[in-house]
């Protein structure tokens, strides 16, 4: 799990090396082993400095998502998160210099662990990436990222790193160099530019560079401190309640609402962590982060996004899992996305205003409303609909207003129903293929987990009841297929609970 040794120079080496794993991950076993090693090193009077390394090709890939998907009680997760925060703070304030030698990528919790070290040196590998991809999985950083990153580089510069691709580069933060902040995973030179790491060295020299810094620090006799623990520390660029900070958060919240319609709690929680946490000391800020992190882990949005974006896409990329031909996938796309477009037409024919229909589609999380042509994407060609413009000719004067929520329900439910029918007819054979295809092929909203994932989220029983209600109101296209009734009777699920 971990290799621990103390050299004659007084430096304790803690090497991550999880057995049977291609990458190092943060889970109960590895975190417990690391905690013991850190406590031993801090308590040992012969240890003067601590070096953290990896025996894998990368440093630490982040948290073990399989563990997070297993759930558990919120209080247990919160207590465990606070214990990890306490350990990292002990590293920072223990009086002994701690350096991380990043031989490859350090992402999510791995990057957060490195940030709790006093010195970070990275190997200049072209493939190595550093950053915080949690938001793309419906999560927020949970090991100090929302508190240490803005305290290190300033709030404005930290937002694209923590929130990309929600905000992207150059929108709320100045672009440092060319393309530095284009995504939440950046290369070594970009990480150095934004002060995420302290030095970049040729591959293979990162351990010696980190050790040399430790030796120099030990001989210098100066107690190591993080910037936020230093006397007179101020947040670079100012705090949240400065005029610049207020303007920044006002704009960020408005932009977030415009881009997500409130469907994705993770970026909203990250902003809240930064805004609330940076008005306090680092320890209080970490408690604030822990509460938001646990809230997200327990949310259906995060579970849906982890399942479909991480596990689903990874499984769909393996040859053993691609049981469905491209032809079947095309048929599936035509049928399900076509059902979305057709329902928009049905709403139009009922007298609902076109603008309201399209806006409801966007609010539902779809990339475009059902009446809006998707120019150049090829999506309309897949549906055998050469144009949606003639829809206006059959629309009566807009007079019906069923309400946005009812429109959204119909636009989303009809896709799930058609996806279920495709599974029943063996157009596709696995729920995860149906969900991944929907997200990749026509931009189905990931927070819902895919058309089948949405049935799972609602519960098959509720989905059947909602479908039957709509069938009674709008016709047999909303009638749920028999196999859903059979699954409900047997208390079966598409995915684990």
Residues 107-153 have pLDDT tens digits of: 999 999 999 999 999 999 999 999 999 988 999 999 999 999 999 99
CATH label of the domain that carries residue 223: 3.90.226.10
Q: Same domain for 177 and 78?
A: yes
Compute CA distances 1 → 20, 31, 66, 169, whole Å.
10, 10, 18, 38
Domain count, the chain: 2
Q: Same domain for 323 and 288?
A: no
Q: Same domain for 11 and 94?
A: yes
Rounded Cα–Cα distance for residues 27 and 67 (Å): 7
* Minimum mean pLDDT range among 55-59, 168-172, 324-328: 168-172
Q: Per-residue pLDDT tens for 445-459?
A: 999 999 999 999 999
Q: Same domain for 203 and 337?
A: no
User: Does residue 306 belong to any structural domain of this protein?
Assistant: no
Q: Same domain for 293 and 325?
A: no
Peptide bond before 488: cis, by omega within 30 degrees of 0? no
Q: What is the pLDDT of residue 380?
A: 46
405: Cα within 13 Å, side-chain hemisphere: 0
Range of the domain at 12: 2-298
Q: Same domain for 233 and 328?
A: no
The mean pLDDT of the chain is 89
Q: For 72-103, what is the HEC assignment?
A: CCHHHHHHHHHHHHHHHHHHHHCCCCEEEEEC
Residue 427 in this model has a pLDDT that exceeds 50: yes
| Length, in residues, of the chain | 497
* Minimum mean pLDDT range among 70-79, 162-171, 292-301, 480-489: 162-171
CATH label of the domain that carries residue 404: 1.10.1040.50
User: Does residue 303 belong to any structural domain of this protein?
Assistant: no
DSSP conformational letter for 311: I
Q: Per-residue pLDDT tens for 314-333?
A: 665 543 347 577 888 899 99
Compute CA distances 439 → 321, 324, 426, whole Å.
17, 16, 19
Q: Same domain for 72 and 12?
A: yes
Q: Per-residue pLDDT tens for 79-88?
A: 999 999 999 9
Single pTM value for the model: 0.89
Cite the active site residues.
112, 134
User: Does residue 204 belong to any structural domain of this protein?
Assistant: yes
12 strand-pairing partners: 6, 50
Q: Same domain for 294 and 348?
A: no
* Minimum mean pLDDT range among 277-281, 338-342, 386-390: 386-390
Residue 386 in this model has a pLDDT that exceeds 50: no
User: Does residue 312 belong to any structural domain of this protein?
Assistant: no
């Amino acid at each position: 799990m971990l290799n621990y040794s103390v050299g004659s120079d007084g430096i304790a080496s803690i090497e991550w090396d999880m057995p049977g794993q291609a990458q190092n991950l943060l889970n109960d076993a590895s975190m417990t082993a690391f905690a013991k090693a850190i406590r031993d090193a801090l308590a040992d009077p012969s240890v003067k400095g601590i070096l953290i390394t990896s025996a894998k090709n990368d440093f630490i890939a982040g948290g073990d998502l399989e563990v997070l998907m297993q759930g558990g009680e919120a209080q247990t997760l919160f207590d465990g998160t606070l214990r990890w925060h306490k350990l990292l703070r002990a590293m920072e304030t223990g009086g002994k210099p701690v350096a991380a030698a990043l031989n490859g990528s350090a992402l999510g919790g791995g990057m957060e662990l490195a940030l709790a070290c006093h010195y970070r040196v990275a190997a200049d590998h072209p493939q190595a990436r550093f950053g915080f991809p949690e938001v793309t999985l419906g999560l927020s950083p949970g090991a100090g990222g929302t508190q240490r990153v803005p305290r290190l580089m300033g709030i404005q510069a930290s937002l694209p790193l923590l929130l990309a691709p929600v905000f992207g580069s150059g929108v709320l933060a100045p672009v440092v160099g060319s393309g530095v902040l284009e995504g939440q995973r950046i290369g070594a030179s970009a990480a150095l530019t934004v002060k995420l790491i302290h030095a970049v060295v040729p591959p293979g020299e990162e351990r010696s560079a980190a050790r040399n810094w430790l030796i120099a620090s030990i001989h210098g006799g100066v107690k190591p401190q993080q910037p936020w623990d230093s006397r007179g520390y101020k947040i670079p660029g100012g705090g949240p309640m400065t005029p610049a900070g207020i303007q920044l958060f006002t704009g960020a919240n408005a932009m977030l609402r415009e881009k997500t319609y409130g469907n994705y709690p993770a970026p909203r929680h990250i902003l809240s962590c930064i805004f609330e946490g940076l008005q306090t000391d680092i320890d209080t800020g970490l408690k604030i982060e822990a509460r938001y992190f646990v809230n997200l882990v327990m949310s259906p949005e995060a579970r849906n996004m982890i399942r479909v974006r991480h596990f689903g896409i990874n499984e769909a990329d393996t040859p053993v899992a691609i049981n469905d031909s491209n032809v079947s996938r095309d048929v599936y796309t035509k049928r399900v996305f076509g059902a979305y477009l057709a329902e928009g037409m049905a709403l139009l024919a009922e007298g609902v205003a076109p603008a309201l229909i399209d806006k409801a589609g966007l609010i539902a999380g779809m990339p475009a409303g059902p009446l809006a042509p998707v120019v150049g994407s090829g999506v309309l060609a897949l549906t055998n609909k050469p144009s949606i413009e003639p829809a206006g000719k059959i629309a009566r004067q807009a007079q019906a207003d069923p309400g946005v929520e009812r429109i959204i329900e119909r636009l989303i439910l009809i896709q799930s129903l058609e996806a279920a029918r495709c599974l029943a007819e063996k157009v596709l054979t696995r729920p995860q293929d149906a969900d991944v295809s929907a997200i990749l092929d026509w931009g189905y909203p990931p927070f819902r987990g895919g058309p089948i994932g949405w049935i799972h989220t609602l519960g098959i029983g509720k989905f059947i009841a909602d479908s039957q209600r709509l069938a009674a109101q709008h016709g047999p296209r909303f009638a749920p297929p028999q196999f859903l009734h059979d699954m409900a009777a047997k208390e079966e699920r598409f995915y684990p609970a």
